[in-house]
Structure formats: C-alpha cells, structure tokens
Chains A and B, each alone.
Chain A
Amino acid sequence: MSDAGDPRPPRVLRALLARVLPPGPVRDGLAGDLDELFAGRVRQRGRARADAWYARQLLSAAFHYRLKRPRSRPTPEKRPTTMLDSLSRDLAYALRTLRRRPGFAAVIVLTLALGIGANTAIYTLLDAVVLRPLPVPHPEQLVQVTYTDESRNGAYFTNPLWEQVRDRATGFTALAAFAETEFNTADGGLARLVRGQYVSGDYFTLFEARPALGRLLGRADDFRGCPPVAVLGHGFWRSEYGGRRDVIGTTISLDGEPFEIVGVAAPGFRGPEVGWDAQVYAPLCSQAVISGSQAALDARSRWWIRIMGRRDPSLTIEQLRARIKAIAPAVYAATVPPNWAAEDRAEYRGRTLNVFPAERGLSGLRIRYASALGVLMGAVALLLLIACANVANLLLARAASRRHDVAIRLAIGAGRRRLMHQLLTESALLAALGAVAGLFLAHWGTRGLVALIAAHRSAVSLDLSLDARVLGFTALITVVTTMIFGLAPALSGTRVSPRAALNAGGRGVAEGHGRFTLGKALVAAQVALSLPLLVGAGLLAGSLRNLSGMDPGFRADGVLVVNVDLRRADLEPEARDAVWRQALERIRALPGVLSAATAFRAPIASNSWNEALYVDGFTPETPMDALVWFNTIGDDYFETMGTRLIAGRDFDATDVAGAPPVAIVSRSMAAKFFGGKSPLGRQFRTKAGDAFKEPVTIVGLVEDAKYSSLREENSATVYRPMAQSAPGSAFSTVVLRAAGDPLSLVPAVRQVFAEVQPAASLEVTTLEAQVADSLQRERVLAVLSTLFGGVALALSMLGLYGVMAHTVTRRRNEIGVRIALGADRARVLRMVLRDIVVVVAAGAALGTAGALAAGTLVRSFLFGLEPTEPAIVIGAVLLLLAAALGAGLRPALRAAGADPVEALREE
C-alpha cells in the first residue's frame, strides 16, 4: 500500500527510465515531467491506463535516446566498433525489421507474453505463499515451538502450557504466543466479522514491528486481568477508518466489549501466518474480557495458542532444541489436565517440546496450496515451451523467406557470426517485449488468482508486489526462452550457400523436401507437450465434477445456514433456550420456509466434534478407530437437510432431559459397530475422563451424510437430540429449507431475531456456498488447468496450421503435377491429412509418457479417477487429433484445389 500523496509510476519502470536516459538535464527534467504527468493521468484515467501510458513513454524515450542516433551529430566512422556499438546497431536493425511487419511481431510478442505472463503469475504466487521469508529483520532466527519431533504448522498449545514455556524457556531473544480468532464488530443483528489475533506481550517485539500510529502492544498490556486494548492492522485502519489519525483513544466493539484503540501497525506488517493477516490485535489476556471469565486462559485441554520465538544468534538451532527439551518435563508436570484418564495423564507428562526453523512463517494456505502451486508451475512451464515452439516455427518460416536476403549479405562479405548475432538480437528483443507485456498480464493474472483462491468466507491477504525475486525470475525465463526459440532459426537461417541461393531467385533452395521437416518436428513437440496438460485438465476437471456431482447424503440447494451467537445477550440458560424455541417457531411460520431446525452444526461447517464410542462386542484396532462424528439436532433436522431416515424413528417430544438418552446413527456407524445387523435398540457409551457416561440407546438409522469434507471416507455419525444436551447453549445453528432462493429469506430471519433477541449476532450463509467453499482448491486447479490446456491446444493448432499452410504452399508445384498426371483430388486431400496424422501420432506417442507422469503428479487431487484413466488419455489424444485435422483442413483443401495449369506454368 502506498503512502498518501501523489501516485508514482511502477518502481521498476521508473528505474528503467533512469537507466535509459543520459544523466543531467535530460534525465532530471524528463523523469520529473513524466512523474508529474503520471500523477495527473492516474487521477483522470485510473491506474492501469496510466501504467500503460508510462510504459509507452519509456519505450519512446528508449527509442529516442538509445536507438536513434541524432542526425546532426557527425557520424563517428573512425571510431573502432565495440561490442556495444554493434549491439545497438543490431537492436536498431531488429526494431526496424519488426516495425516493417507489425502483425507478425505482434503475434510473436503476444504468444510470448502469454507464456511468460502465466509463468510470472504462478511464480509470484508460489513465491509469496511458499518461498519467501517473512518480511521482518533476520527471519532466519525465527523458530516455531512445537510439541512433536516433526515440524508442523498447527502445533497448538494451551494457555497454561504457554505460560510455563514463557517463564522457563531460555535461549530466545523473544518468545511470543498468538491465537487467531474472529471478532464481531457489530452490536447485534448481522455479524460483521473481522480477523483478530490474540497476542502475547512480546509478539510485536519478536517481529521487530513498528507502529504507524500510537503504540503497539507490549508486556505491560499482557497480564491476567488486563484492561481491553487493541491495535489495528494498517489495511483495516485505512479501509475502516479512512486512515484517520484521531482513532487513537477511541474504542472499537469486539464481540460487544469496548476495546480502546492504542495504535496502528505499520503497513506491510502481516504477522507470521502467510496468507492471513489480522485486522485487529488484542492482548492474549483480553480473551477473558471477551469470554467473560478466565476459564479459557486456565483451561488445560483447550489447544488454541501457537508459539514462535527468535533464537539467540549465539546459539545453534540444536543447542536451542536441547534447552527447550530440557524444560519439557517441568512444563508438562505443572499443567496436567486434572480430568483426564490416568493413562492419558501419564502420556501427557511424557510429552516433549521442540523448535523448528520458521523463517518463512506459518501458513495454512501454504499447506493447502503448496503442491497445487507446484503442479500449476509445471503446467505453465509446459505452456511456455509450447509458446517457444510456436515462435520458433514462425521465425523459421520467416528465415526461409529471408534466405535470399541472407545469401546476398553473405555474398558481399558479412560474417555468419555477425548475421547470427543479428537474428538472435531480434529474438531477444521479441522476448523482452514479450516479457514486458507478460509482466502486465501477470499483474492482473495474479490478482485474479488470489480472488479465485479466496473462498467467500476466508480472505487471502498476500504481498504480491513485483519485487526483485519475481523480476529476476521473469528475466531468467526470458533469457532461457530466447535461447530456446531463437537458436534454431538463427542456425538454420544462416546456413545458406550464397551461390545457390542467388541462383534462380532462390526457388531452387526452398527447404529440403524431407518428409519430416524441422517445422513439423516442432509441431510434434507441441503436441507432445500439450498432451500432459490436456490429460491433467481432464483429470482435475473430472474430479471436480465427481465431487460436486456426488450425493453427499444431504440436499445442499435451498438451505440457509444461520449461525447464531447469544453471548452478548446476558441471559440465564433457560432464557436462552426460550430464545431458540421462539425464534425457530417464528422462522417456521415465515412464508417461503418449508422446514427449519436447530443443530450444533451444519454439514461441511468449519467446526467439528468427535468422540470415542464404547460398544459391547466391538474392539477398536487403534484408539482412533473408535472415533465417530457427533452432532446434536432439533426436530425436523433430517427433513430440512433432506437426509433419509432408513429405519427406526426420528426424535420426538418424549426425548427430553431426564428421559432415557437416545441417539440416531448413520449407516456406516451401524455397519462398523454392529456389523450390518440392525442397530435399533442397541446401546453405546462415551467417557468423560475416566468415567463412563450413561449408556445411550439407538432409536433410528439414517443415510450417511458427509460431515467435514466431501472427500472424507468415514462419515460415521451419531446424532443426539438437542433436548437431551446441556441446556442454555449460547451458540446454535439454524438451518432452514426455502421454497425459493434461500438468501431472499435473510431479511425476514434478521427481523425474527431482532424481535426475539436484538443482541443475538447472526452469521448467514447458504449450505451450497459452504460446500462450494470446501471445493475451492479443486475448483482453482480445474479452472486453471482447463485454461492452460485450452491455451496449449490453441497454440499447438496455430503452429500446426502455420506449418501445414507453409508446406502446402511450398509443394504446390508438386501437387499440381500430381493432379495433372491424374491423381484425383481426394487422394491429394488424403495425402495432406495423412501428413497431419503422422505429426500428431508422433507427438502423442512422445507425450503419453509425459501424460502418465502428469497423472501421477496430480494424484492427490483426484477424486473418483485413476491418474492413468485410459478414457481421459484417449480422449485427450482424440481431441488433439480432431483439432489438428480441423486446423489442417483449410491447407489440405487448398492443396486439393490446386490448379494444375497454373502450377505447371510456373514450373
């Protein structure tokens, strides 16, 4: 985010301009003028158009001050020619040649821009999410504290554990804890959630962060019983408060509690979680203010805090590890959860502590997307190679038409090296232009990608500025690209015998009549490279279709999910239950509502609850084996969700507190614990600590419904009636099935709660959106791989068309002769089409190995498909073949329509 004041042109372009212009009055004057005019343009036409304008100005300045020699200056004939001289002459020559055929140049630049832009866009994201260290001083000193001997992102501690670690650990110059949360800044009604983070006293010290305004939080803010204070994130302060400086000292309502704003973090500070930044920071101790008690801070089995530290630079990571391991027994001994079973307590005491380097911060986004980004990076690399092959083909075709020209130069004494230089310079210029255009494409592309990644409930916040790393990457692939597509034409284009070329106007030397020319080889290579992309796209799109087309065991369409939070309403448990009852009654009476129910959670929600079951006659193989999902539900839940009751009964008015505990179980729960026999009337138990709870009797059997993810294999679920759970819950989810668009019911539902309990806070979504969000990564992969596959196909077919058209033109005489000698036209058509089939077959044969490798690479993203799915591989080959025949049809028809008389006349 830039500071207030005049907008400035992109840093890179400004730096380039300064390089282009001669120092002194020209550089000072012109660079300043362009800055000044740029600011005006931004205001009048917007940033993007001003950027483009500035780039044009840069090119013009480069043209006038680097390429065009001022006419009035005497030509320095006597100066010895240096490499720089010949380079700038080559550049000027290349520029002239390209300007003579702007269409040709534009096609090449666009093709390269597509390839380079796609690579830069994906790399920018890969860099931001996976590769880049945190933007803090000495990131290499940062470590994450964990409780296992392997590094893990989600190493969550309890607050008592954190306090022990904080007080006992040595060898850190700073040690801090943090916990992500959502704060509701609205006072009742629809929730307005902001991303919040509870942070311990040394959090900002750890990252050496500075305030933009006021002060940051320090140790003095973090003690039990602390007053509620908050620091705002810079972006939030700008967007929510318009960057007003008088926010310091005012209060912000977080979950209904007034917090005093004491400062604003500096721009660019995003904390340790890459892809997620807090909008509001509050001291860890203020969790007690929000929850109304110290319970969560004292809870010994609530795992919600992560710990990072800065290693004392005089210690190695191993030394630090030894120190933290040494304090582990005392830390755990002091925090044993009292209500755990004896064996669990013993296991707890034996746990360890560890540290791992955390230079690049922690990131859930990275865990979800690292391998997906790797796959995409591979895809765009293939795309770039295909683009290179295309450009090489275009340049080859032109080199052929320039042979006469080259022959003359060679004849009058130009060196072959010199000519190759010239051709390579031209390629480099094309690549550079492609790179500049590609950077613009990447700029938009990356932002589009982030928008695609961000599910509607989880914003993704990344630093996507074009930094030296990204520019270096782009420069590198540009150079490599030039080498790939420029070398072949430069070599073959200058391999000309001057005498032969000048004979017969160059006709005699038209490229050899070999069956498989370099051009065709390049097209075959393109086909080979496209195949993995098409197969990958087919697999990923197929998996998405399988996932979204599956029957999840509930009907997602038409269901509104309302998550309600009653904590702000200061109510006794009975009063809360009354709120749930009244609200549900009135919601059911709303026009357009078919049915409605309350529940602990809706399917595919972010929260979950599982417990181990104890059933007579069932022995779990591992402790995990006995875990099943739990949900508590009110009347009409199954009807609202569209989940089928297979046997037994739904909960009814007899299932109340005090009556025998009952449950409804899902099909796979019954299969697992009762081996396919009817579960009705059978019982199970759960434990609280060491003690068994009262046995629960199963009264109903329902179809399996996906619980936390559509991909999950185990959906064994136990449903318990709301009426038999602890009374007075402050949270509940209301699900309702609408006759029409569920979102059209939002105002009416709000109105119901506004009347029943105005302090209730509502968060509304549709079940469809909730399910769609869970498929975000699959969707991103499917969309992008299909896009890249499509572009690859288009580029390859463009290349094929060009080569076939070229070949047919060259063979016109031969074809004319054949027709004159009696070959029928169908035969000619077959001849040309056979050529195409040979090229595609060669490419497909080569590409199949790559396609199988691509399948293996995306294996973990597939659903209901094998990586070597023959139908998809064959489908991709057939698609290529059909497209190739389509692209080759016009040249083939032209060949078949050749007029023998005309051809013979030429001969």
Chain B
Amino acid sequence: MTDHAFLGEFEHLVLATALRLKGEGYGATLVRELEERTGRQVQGGALYATLDRLERKGYLVSRMGDPDPVRGGRPKRFVTVTPEGVRALAAQREALLRIWDGLEATFEEA
C-alpha cells in the first residue's frame, strides 16, 4: 500500500470510468457511462467539480477538443487518467478487496 489518500466514493467511480474510456471520455460520455453502470442519475455540476478535484490531485489531465456544432458550438473536455491516477485506483482496489475478503459468502446465505 502506498501513501495515497483514499479516493472519495464518487471520485473513485469517476476515475475508474475515465480509465475505462481510455482517454476518449468526456463529460457527456462519462455521465452516460456512470448512469448506465450505477443506475443513479449523475449531476453534471458534481461530475465537473470532481474532475477539477481529481485534476488538482494530479490523477487525471484534461484537454479541450474542437468546437462541435452538435453541442451548441462548445468543445469537449476529454480526460485521461495519469499514471499516478492509475496507481491510486489500484491501491484503492487492493484495499477494497482486502476489506471484502471472505465476506461474499454472507450474501449468498442471505
């Protein structure tokens, strides 16, 4: 385990989804992906605040695409997870798996 601080739950979800989209993810695709996988409605404002925070922590970088007429002439903000972000996710995953170890059986009984 490294000295990374834990990711918040939503930060975790966002970072992992960004990783899944392999640098091609931007706001709208992240929202769609998150809503599909979690079944919850995602607020764009919350997503962007989280992206800002993750960027400040150095876990991801963003770049602006070209202006797109479909989006009212606005460009897309693509996000890519940095190696440091990948490490943070890996560490979080390790920790979670250790926490869950041996508990799966409980659910099958229930």
Q: Which residues of B contact A594 (CB under 8 A)?
A: none
Alpha-carbon separation in the docked complex, A696 to B84 (Å): 107
Q: Which residues of A contact B12 (CB under 8 A)?
A: none
Alpha-carbon separation in the docked complex, A68 to B56 (Å): 17
Q: Which of A1-58 contact B (CB under 8 A)?
A: 6, 8, 14, 25-26, 28-37, 39-40, 56-57
A contact residues vs B (CB 8 Å cutoff): 6, 8, 14, 25-26, 28-37, 39-40, 56-57, 60-65, 68, 70, 72
A72 touches B28 (CB 8 A): no
Alpha-carbon separation in the docked complex, A72 to B53 (Å): 8
Given contacts A33-B31, A36-B28, A37-B31, contact A26 B74 (CB under 8 A): no
Binds A, one of B38-46, B86-94, B102-110: B38-46
A sample of 6 cross-chain residue pairs with beta-carbon separation below 8 angstroms, ordered by A number, consists of A26-B48, A30-B44, A35-B71, A57-B44, A61-B48, A63-B45
| Dominant secondary structure of chain A at its interface with chain B | helix
Q: Which residues of A contact B27 (CB under 8 A)?
A: 29-30, 32-33
Judge if B68 is at the interface, Cβ distance under 8 Å: yes
A60 touches B43 (CB 8 A): yes
**Max chain B C-beta neighbours (<10 A), residue from A14, A40, A61, A63:** A61
Judge if B95 is at the interface, Cβ distance under 8 Å: no
Alpha-carbon separation in the docked complex, A72 to B46 (Å): 16
Q: Which of B65-84 contact A (CB under 8 A)?
A: 68, 70-72, 74-77
Alpha-carbon separation in the docked complex, A25 to B27 (Å): 11
Alpha-carbon separation in the docked complex, A56 to B45 (Å): 10
Distance between B44 CB and nearest chain A CB, rounded to angstroms = 5
Distance between A400 CB and nearest chain B CB, rounded to angstroms = 36
Q: Which residues of B contact A35 (CB under 8 A)?
A: 70-72, 74
Closest to B62 in A: A25
Alpha-carbon separation in the docked complex, A834 to B39 (Å): 57
B74 touches A64 (CB 8 A): no
Count A-B pairs with CB separation below 8 Å: 88
Distance between B91 CB and nearest chain A CB, rounded to angstroms = 20
Distance between B78 CB and nearest chain A CB, rounded to angstroms = 9
Q: Which residues of A contact B53 (CB under 8 A)?
A: 70, 72
B45 touches A62 (CB 8 A): yes
A29 touches B75 (CB 8 A): yes
Alpha-carbon separation in the docked complex, A72 to B56 (Å): 9
Q: Which residues of A contact B7 (CB under 8 A)?
A: none
Q: What would 4 more interface pairs be, CB under 8 Å, given A36-B71, A60-B43, A70-B53?
A: A26-B52, A29-B75, A29-B76, A35-B70
Closest to A58 in B: B45
Distance between B58 CB and nearest chain A CB, rounded to angstroms = 12
A29 touches B77 (CB 8 A): yes
B45 touches A29 (CB 8 A): no
A60 touches B44 (CB 8 A): yes
Question: Which of B32, B49, B56, B74 is in CB contact (< 8 Å) with A29?
Answer: B74
A70 touches B49 (CB 8 A): yes
Alpha-carbon separation in the docked complex, A14 to B74 (Å): 12
Distance between B66 CB and nearest chain A CB, rounded to angstroms = 11
Alpha-carbon separation in the docked complex, A62 to B64 (Å): 22
Q: Which residues of B contact A36 (CB under 8 A)?
A: 28, 70-71
Alpha-carbon separation in the docked complex, A28 to B49 (Å): 14
Question: Which of A6, A28, A57, A70 is in CB contact (< 8 Å) with B43?
Answer: A57
Closest to A57 in B: B44
Closest to A29 in B: B77
Q: Which residues of B contact A63 (CB under 8 A)?
A: 45
A33 touches B26 (CB 8 A): yes
Distance between A318 CB and nearest chain B CB, rounded to angstroms = 49
Given contacts A64-B45, A64-B48, contact A25 B64 (CB under 8 A): yes
B77 touches A8 (CB 8 A): no
Alpha-carbon separation in the docked complex, A31 to B68 (Å): 12
B28 touches A33 (CB 8 A): yes
Q: Which residues of B contact A29 (CB under 8 A)?
A: 26-27, 48, 62, 64, 74-77
Alpha-carbon separation in the docked complex, A61 to B31 (Å): 14
B44 touches A32 (CB 8 A): no
Q: Which residues of B contact A62 (CB under 8 A)?
A: 45
Distance between B16 CB and nearest chain A CB, rounded to angstroms = 19
B70 touches A25 (CB 8 A): no
Closest to B63 in A: A25
Distance between B27 CB and nearest chain A CB, rounded to angstroms = 3
Q: Which residues of A contact B31 (CB under 8 A)?
A: 33, 37
Distance between A578 CB and nearest chain B CB, rounded to angstroms = 65
Q: Which residues of B contact A33 (CB under 8 A)?
A: 26-28, 31, 44, 71, 76-77
Closest to B35 in A: A37
Alpha-carbon separation in the docked complex, A32 to B64 (Å): 12
Distance between B84 CB and nearest chain A CB, rounded to angstroms = 16
Question: Which of A28, A37, A61 is in CB contact (< 8 Å) with B74?
Answer: A28
**Max chain B C-beta neighbours (<10 A), residue from A14, A29, A39, A40:** A29
Alpha-carbon separation in the docked complex, A30 to B71 (Å): 10
